[in-house]
Amino acid sequence: MKIFLTYLLVGFLWLLHWLPLPVLRDLGWGLGRLLYALGRERRRVALTNLRLCFPEKSEVEREELARRHFVSFARAVLDRTLGWWASKERLERIIRIHGVEHLTDPEGRPVILLSPHFVGLDAGATRISMYVVGCSVFSNQKNPVLNKLLYDGRMRFNEAVLLSRQDGMRKIVKAMKDGHQFYYLPDMDFGPKESIFVPFFGVQAATIPALSRLVRLTGARVVACITRQVPDGYEVEVMPAWENFPGESVEADTEFMNKFIESQVLRMPEQYFWLHKRFKTRPPGEQRFYK
């Protein structure tokens, strides 16, 4: 029965991709407001994150920012139907990309495409996959129908290399040395194992220092890819490669990365993924933020 219901859901999502984008965005607005009203647990997580990161804002301002985030998130969820099924020509119109020349290194060095968790993350990945055959980490879903949908969506425009988080760094390094750009999502709390604590908006955050270690192992260049949700689609900004990176230490590099992410969050705070418990892991002796 569960699999049958999943097929019904997928069929409904397939129908959505035929809708004009303005209609899809209106549906996303309604869905986002509904999720904010009904999703007590995730609403509490988002408001806790915003309180920690923006203590200077009033409670009313943070609540309004959270509502806008829920809407941006819901719109991005519905927009994923376009990435799965819309024509390449339509996607090229809706998802515009700038800085394509930075996706490859002129000297042939490996490239890490650093993509923090903004709501446009998947739209950006889809567009970038039209230019390069990358590699990324893929989390298998328990539901086989949804797992296949997500997997096929990642593989739609080329045979990307999808790795499990359990594969470790060795397979990522091999894929990069084989010429695959690594689409790296750097900013989630995966617990204390292999994490270090560095500030994020002034709060100690458990952060995987993989970016610095990968660059030191492979000599890769770091290219930030930031995708912004805009009224008529998405804008993907591929920035020039970072200079003077890595720096003096893994810890300093990881703090630099978090500072960079902060700067991008301030450009579009409603589009950062505030629903994740970014500060769940605490240094020894510190209080927990999420009750």
Q: Where are the domains of the chain?
A: 2-271
| Distance separating alpha carbons of residues 152 and 175, to the nearest angstrom | 20
> pTM for this structure?
0.94
Euclidean distance between the first and the last CA atom of the chain, given in angstroms as a whole number: 34
137 Cβ neighbours under 8 A, 6+ residues apart: 162, 163, 164, 165, 172, 185
Confidence of residue 249 (pLDDT cuts 50, 70, 90): very high
Give the β-pairing of 134-137 and 161-163. parallel
The model's pLDDT over 84-106, given as tens digits with 9 standing for 90+, comes to 999 999 999 999 999 999 999 99
Closest CA to 71 of 43, 40, 49: 43
Confidence of residue 160 (pLDDT cuts 50, 70, 90): confident
For residue 145, is pLDDT > 90?
no
**What is the widest separation between alpha-carbon atoms in the chain?**
56
